[in-house]
Chain A
Amino acid sequence: MQDPKSNSYNHRRRDFIRTGLGVAGGLALPAGFATRAFAAAPAPLGTWPAGVTGDTVYIGAAVPRTGPYAVQGEDELKGMQLAVEHINEGNELVRKIAPKLKKGLLGKQVKLLVADSGAKPNEAVQAEQRFINENKIMAMTGSTSSAVAVALNKFAQREKVLYLVAISGSNDTTGKDCARYSFRQCFYGETAANAIGPVLLKTYGKNKKAAFMTPDYTYGHTVTKSMNDYLSQHGGWTMVTNQVSPLGTSDFSSYLTNIANSGAEFIINVNWGRDAVLSIQQAKQFGLTPKMKMVIPYQIPFLAKEVGPELTEGVYAATDFWWTLEDKYPLAKMFVEAFDKKYGYKPEWGANNAYMQFAIWARMVSEADSFYPPDVIKTYEKGETFESTVGKVHFRAADHQLVRPVVIVRGKKPSEMKNKEDYWEVMEVVPGEPLMQKPDAFGCQLGDYT
């Protein structure tokens, strides 16, 4: 492992050679010097340059197509496919995000390889390893579970292949377990808590009793902690019980029985995917809701469609993206239209996140004019502001987290819905910067470039 300094030295040296060759030649230096200088071009790193020698570059996606997050994984995959199509045809939308992009990326076609992760970290890592060995992928993506994201972070750092985080809300993804080779578009659970917290306090008041439902892995625990910290410190709320359940639980009766006996006024449901669908349906069967109010800190794609608007009516949630933002942001409109045209439904935030991650990657590669990973990473780390489907955004160099607004939505009554996909009303778009903790607050150590 070299340290980053020696790498920037390499850069300077390469620049020197590129611009100063004529001078060097004029000075008629001994041939030996020139040879040594050429040899100083960067050593092979990860899949580079093997992955960029042909006319196609590959991205490896390990998305859950089975298991409790399968529904969200399929949607995410569609966002990726649309983005790849747009990159290859030099579509107008992707060029708004990546202005230097032409048809294809640096003259190469991008191809997406897909494997099913089942939302399991080991399967995701195995799939990516296969893509690295067989296809020399230049970037990997996937995750609809932060457990997968955290595993791929470490894997990406070890293999020196860029990882574009897909759905992952844990504080660890760009916090404790952050990586130099990993970048996240969707926000921290902490940021979601800081955005939805004030709305809850304003709507429901102080000193309330809340029961938490927490899926038993990094996402669940960090989001529950962030929500509880905010509500207890700013509003004097108390956590009367925390019901931790394994990912993929189908019967929530024993957890709901505890909540029924806890005296809670609110259920803060951190469960996600199918677990959220089932826990919300069963909370209704047990008569807990609507007596207790349900809050969803991190919105779940397709939730309203699966449980029906009767159960999401009045429910507050923080989300990355909701399609009615098309009225507010021109890029959102272009994205929703393109997606709806291709797939016949309005994209959920997983698809939007995936699309944006690919478009941003295309931006960084085309700005760097290179696939060489350290060059691309440094372009991300410049922190330049660019357009997105939720307005202007930029990356933080210190934790590789996109600084972006948080969208607060509330479930519409069935009678208020203007069409069959009009489930949520956008209540507020909260600017991201003031919501975010310091980059090192969760102990992020990015690691090396090479």
Chain B
Amino acid sequence: MVTWSNFFSQLFNGLALGALLALISSGLTIIYGTLGVLNLAHGAMFMLGGYAGYVAYERTGSFIVAVIAGTLFLLVVGVVMERVIIRHFYKRPPEDQLLVTFGLSICFVEIVRYFFSSLSKTVPAPAVFSGITNLGFMFYPTYRLAVVGIVALALLALFLVLYKTRLGLIVRAGIEDSVMVDSLGINVDRVFMLVFGIGAMAAGFAGIVNAPVVSLAPDMGEAILVQTFVVVVIGGVGSFPGAVLGGLIAGEIISITSMFNPGYAYVMLFAAMTLVLMVRPHGLLGVKGRE
């Protein structure tokens, strides 16, 4: 199926796929970069955002309300999670952090399954974005087009927070050298809480924005988590621009490979990750020593 029209279609589809991966991955990478905690519950948070939005949508019938609810709910979940559990693990070995976040993700998934069952739930796309758009070279679901724009805006907002605010400055400094930031007398404790909240919020936002594209199921976060890890590794651990770049690269690899042989789409993704690890062990935009 290698034709020019299919090539352009896939190129475009890769962009849409990559944008979403970029958004989810940015939350994961900021948290890891700042707090040093690899949050295995990130996929479950993505799922929680979707379900929180679903509940809000069922109550109000408004997609905007659903997006706000999904996002804010995860901000709260993130902050509570950090205060009650995660902060006790900053000084503990990485394997403890992995286990506790992994355990939390199982709890989240099973709680949702208990209340909502495994039957998938659908949040319809808002009426303005329903239907199909003719791009000239292909037809594309209007809502997926809108998602590209929505995600771009969200990434811009994250960028502004990280690069144009005092909080962002501290976060970026913390990624480079958290001991130094601490010894400069900055209240790292509060910053950590906020960063975890913002990372969770990004996952929640992505979850509800993604809900009309892929209907909700309790274990939907599992597959996404693996992909976001690949994105973060390709882009460079702890690097926000790296997550964006990695997301777009991953999206394109999946789409373009599937044009030749769909069975190899994910094989190629992991092959690319392996290649990056061999050539640039710290990722494309990662910096040596940043852990």
Q: Which residues of A contact B139 (CB under 8 A)?
A: 260, 286-287
- B-contact bits for A242-267, CB 8 A (1 contact / 0 none): 01111011110111011011100000
Contact with A along B245-267 (1 / 0, CB 8 A): 00000000011001101110110
Check B214 against A250 for contact (C-beta < 8 Å). Answer: yes
Fill in one digit per residue for A291-309: 1 if any B CB lies within 8 Å of its CB, else 0: 0000000000010011000
Which partner residue on chain B sits nearest A285 by CB separation? Answer: B141
- The answer, among A65, A250, A286, for a CB contact under 8 Å with B141, is A286
**Which positions 195-248 of chain A face chain B at CB distance < 8 Å?**
216, 241, 243-246, 248
Nearest CB to that of B267 among chain A residues? A246
B119 touches A257 (CB 8 A): no
- Nearest CB in chain B: distance from A317 CB, A: 19
User: Judging by beta carbons under 8 Å apart, are A74 and B118 in contact?
Assistant: yes
Residue of B nearest to A211 (CB): B1
The complex places the Cα of A215 from the Cα of B254 at a distance, in Å, of 16
A251 touches B9 (CB 8 A): no
Interface pairs (14), CB distance under 8 Å: A67-B219, A71-B120, A241-B1, A243-B262, A245-B263, A253-B144, A253-B255, A254-B14, A255-B258, A258-B259, A261-B3, A281-B215, A282-B213, A287-B141
* Interface secondary structure of B, over-half rule: helix
Asked if B1 and A258 make an inter-chain contact with CB atoms under 8 angstroms apart, the answer reads yes
Instruction: Say whether B165 faces chain A, with CB atoms less than 8 Å apart.
Output: no
Q: What is the CB-to-nearest-CB distance from A268 to chain B, in angstroms, rounded to a whole number?
A: 15
Report A's interface with B, CB cutoff 8 A. Answer: 65-67, 70-71, 74, 216, 241, 243-246, 248-251, 253-255, 257-258, 260-262, 274, 277-278, 281-282, 285-287, 302, 305-306
Cα(A253)–Cα(B1), bound, Å:
15
Over the window 1-39 of chain B, the binary record of Cβ atoms lying under 8 Å from chain A Cβ atoms (1 yes, 0 no) is: 101011001100110110000000000000000000000
Q: Is the CB of B120 within 8 A of A274?
A: yes
Q: Which of B16, B220, B265 contacts A250 (CB 8 A)?
A: B220
CB-contact partner of A246 in B138, B143, B214, B266, under 8 A = B266
CB-CB under 8 A from B263, the residues of chain A are 216, 244-245
The answer to whether A305 and B119 touch (CB under 8 A), given A251-B213, A254-B10, is yes
Is B217 in contact with chain A by the CB < 8 A criterion?
yes
B261 CB to nearest A CB, Å: 8
Residues on B with beta carbons closer than 8 Å to the beta carbon of A65: 118
Q: How many residues of B contact A (CB 8 A)?
A: 43
For chain B, residues 208 to 255, give those with C-beta under 8 angstroms from any C-beta of chain A.
Answer: 213-215, 217-220, 222-224, 254-255
Are A70 and B118 closer than 8 Å at their CB atoms? Answer: yes
Given known contacts A66-B219, A253-B13, A274-B120, A258 and B262 CB-to-CB distance under 8 angstroms: yes
Known contacts A65-B118, A257-B10, then 20 further A-B pairs from the complex at CB < 8 Å, ordered by chain A residue: A66-B109, A66-B113, A70-B219, A244-B261, A248-B223, A249-B223, A254-B13, A254-B255, A258-B10, A258-B258, A258-B259, A261-B1, A261-B6, A261-B9, A277-B120, A278-B214, A285-B132, A285-B143, A286-B139, A305-B119
A253 with B16: CB separation less than 8 A: yes
B131 to chain A: closest residue by CB: A287
Closest approach, in angstroms, between the C-beta of A32 and any C-beta of chain B? 63
In the bound assembly, the distance between CA atoms of A278 and B139 in angstroms comes to 19
In the assembled complex, which residues on chain B have CB atoms less than 8 Å from the CB atom of A248?
Answer: 222-223
Chain B residues positioned under 8 Å from A305 (CB to CB): 119
- What CA separation (Å) do A282 and B213 show in the bound complex? 7
Bound CA span A281–B1, Å: 23
CB of B185 to closest CB in A, whole Å: 46
Residues of chain B contacted by A216 (CB below 8 angstroms):
263
Contacts of B102 in A (CB 8 A): none
> A257, B6: Cβ atoms under 8 Å?
yes
Residues of A within 8 A of B132 (CB): 285-287
- Specify which of A216, A249, A253, A302 lies most central, judged by the most chain B CB atoms within 10 Å of its CB: A253
Indicate whether B122 reaches chain A with its CB closer than 8 angstroms: yes
CB distance from A348 to the nearest CB of B (A): 12
A285 to B254 Cα, complex, angstroms: 20
Residues of A within 8 A of B108 (CB): none
Q: Are A254 and B224 in contact (CB under 8 A)?
A: no
